[in-house]
Amino acid sequence: MGTLYVVPTPIGNLEDITLRGLRVLKEAALIAAEDTRTTRVLLDHYGITTPATSYHEHNKLAKLDAIFDALAAGDVALVSDAGTPGISDPGYELVGEAIRRGHRVEPLPGANAVLPALVGSGLPTDSFIYLGFLPRKQKALLDFLAELAGEPRTLVAYDSPNRLTDTLAAVQQVMGADRPVCVARELSKMFEEFRRGTVSDVLAHFRQTPPRGEITLVIGGQPPAAREMWDETKVRTALYLRLDAGEPLSRAARAIAGLSGWERRAVYALGAEYKGGGRR
């Protein structure tokens, strides 16, 4: 039985592929590529003539038989358009199916946007959470961020340049204007940029200079001092400011609970009292 090789490909600079990765691409019987046209640029650059077939979100079921027929006779290399296959793409499903069918799966180390963005951000790297692509709809995004408001670990996510300013505005609303962030843009490409600072400063920059290209967003975790238990007055003040701004009570309570160390139900009760006219 053949081996399924998971081969990272460059996220920008074509030199960012390992010698082992090139050897596997040359020796495999078939390359399963997210987009064969994109992969062909890399293959042509290195003179690799291995046949390729498309494997992506919209044809992943239809292509399974052809891929496993190839695996029955030889090795298959799985690649994405850029970076490590299986990270926020359907490659993980092919890996899982190969394991279930008894094939050897051999993942190669290599290019990915998460680690360069994290290391280049200047934010803590000892522990972090990869969030994948952030929710597109504003309410879902705000709710998602509210659940993470009190998270002490560094957060890393992919985002679209068209949505970046909305995302940064949501981070500012939920986590505060002073939360440190880094927008890593066009990593390993000609116009690579790391924009670091508070979320309010970075948001102001990209409102003036609309971003382009691939975006990886790094958000600092809640600092230790901010994780001290808030007293009731501080909780009420922060909560009422959000409610007066029109934020729904459920979302405001989640965010304040994450920031204050209080239980969400207790914060919600203060908000219900406020909404009922019981201000203090």
Number of neighbouring beta carbons within 10 Å of residue 140: 11
Q: What pLDDT sits at residue 15?
A: 95
What CATH number is given for 3-107 in this structure?
3.40.1010.10
58: number of CA atoms within 13 Å, CB side? 1
Average pLDDT over residues 169-192: 95
* Beta-bridge partner residues of 155: 129, 219
End-to-end CA gap in the chain: 72
- 3-class DSSP assignment, residue 6: strand
**Alpha-carbon span 97 to 60, nearest angstrom:** 11
Would you say 151 and 223 are in contact if contact means Cβ atoms under 8 Å apart? no
pTM of the model: 0.81
Would you kindly state where each structural domain of the chain is located, as residue ranges? 3-107, 114-223, 228-275
Average pLDDT of span 55-78: 90
**Alpha carbon 246 to its chain's center:** 29
Instruction: Indicate whether 117 pLDDT > 90.
Output: yes
The topology (CATH level 3) of 114-223 is: 3.30.950
How far apart are the C-alpha atoms of 113 and 125, rounded to whole Å? 14
pLDDT over 60 at 131, yes or no: yes
| Range with the poorest average pLDDT among 113-122, 145-154, 211-220 | 145-154
The answer to whether 53 and 67 have CB atoms below 8 angstroms apart is yes
Find out whether 63 and 54 touch, Cβ atoms under 8 Å: yes
261, burial (CB in 10 Å: exposed 0-12, middle 13-18, buried 19+): middle
d(CA 22, CA 187): 21
